Structure 1
Amino acid sequence: MALSELDVSDQMDECIDNCWEAAQACEWCADACLDEEMDMSRCIRLCRDVADLASMHARFMARNSNYSEQLAEDVAGAAEECAEECSRHDHEHCQVCADVLEDCVESCRAMMA
């Protein structure tokens, strides 16, 4: 059964997808940052926070949690800060992560409206 067959709006379905994609991109970026020669600790920490928050938010939306809207605000803020940090680095994994996070921020902010 697809999410679209459940009681989930198109907007929520998109946000769930964007949150899962953000979590995956952040996990990949954080792992790749470990191999960089420069200090990437801030990027790693932010990516790990966003990965956890975004995956939790996706699960909360899927079960129509009353806390989903509050969590959307936290995810949007953390993802925005992480995207800013990632965009400062020339590494491909950071640039990809920053791009993916922009969609996550946008869809989480739409869920808050």
Structure 2
Amino acid sequence: MSHEHQRQPPQGYEQYERQHQQMEGQRGQPTSRPARSFEDHLTNELRIALEDFTEVSHVAAWCAKECAQEGPQLAECARICTDIADMAEFNERLIARDSMFGPEVADLFVRVATEALPELEAFQHHSHVDETIGVIDRTIDSCRTVLEMVDQGGQQAGPGAKAGRGGAGGRPPSGGTY
């Protein structure tokens, strides 16, 4: 599966992203992603999932803001996008620290995002919602790929991975996960 990460961002998204980064810096939070030494140990599949979680967290947050500005008719869409953005950001954090709960939360993201897609599709005539749907689809696909790797247990998906130890859904109950 080919991921097109070189696409042009949706109209208005670049300005939103700059403002978001400035706000992050003003709050004293780091604006960079996980340390390079950790990234060097990521599999290609996990690296793609991490990039997709990063993108969907930003694009869905931008979409939620756009929906909120367009009025109450898009309130439900804004809430869904906010939920997707928050869950994606949480997944980023779990991957970065190789949390033992990462696969369960990633699986939850897949389930929630899959359930949210039909709701969002009702609003896809708005370009920002249509863009968000595409990014969510791609993130679901890359997340499923990583979860299949964890479930198979044959290939380590990150530092300290202990796949194949019969936890919930066949995922590891303890130790590193990804």
For structure 1, the residue ranges without an aligned partner over 5 or more in a row are none
| Map 1:1-113 → 2, pairs under 5 A | 1=36, 4-5=39-40, 7-37=41-71, 39-89=73-123, 90-113=125-148
TM-score, with structure 1 as normaliser: 0.89
Q: Please identify runs of 4+ aligned residues in structure 1 that moved more than 6 A.
A: none
TM-score, with structure 2 as normaliser: 0.58
What is the CA deviation profile of residues 14-70 of structure 1, one whole-angstrom value per residue up to 9, with x for unaligned ones?
100001111111101100001224511221111111111101101111221111100
Alpha-carbon distance between aligned partners in 2 of 1:96 and 1:104, rounded to the nearest angstrom: 13
- The one-letter amino acid paired with 2:140 is V
- The one-letter amino acid paired with 1:112 is L
Higher relative contact order (CA 8 A, sep 6+): 1
Larger deviation: 32-41 or 9-18? 32-41
Alpha-carbon distance between aligned partners in 1 of 2:70 and 2:37, rounded to the nearest angstrom: 39
CA RMSD in angstroms comes to: 1.6
Residue 8 of structure 1 deviates from its aligned partner by: 1.2
Aligned pair count?
112
Structure 1 or 2: larger helix share? 1
Residue 4 of structure 1 deviates from its aligned partner by: 4.2
Larger deviation: 76-85 or 45-54? 76-85
Which secondary structure does the structure 2 equivalent of 1:35 belong to?
helix
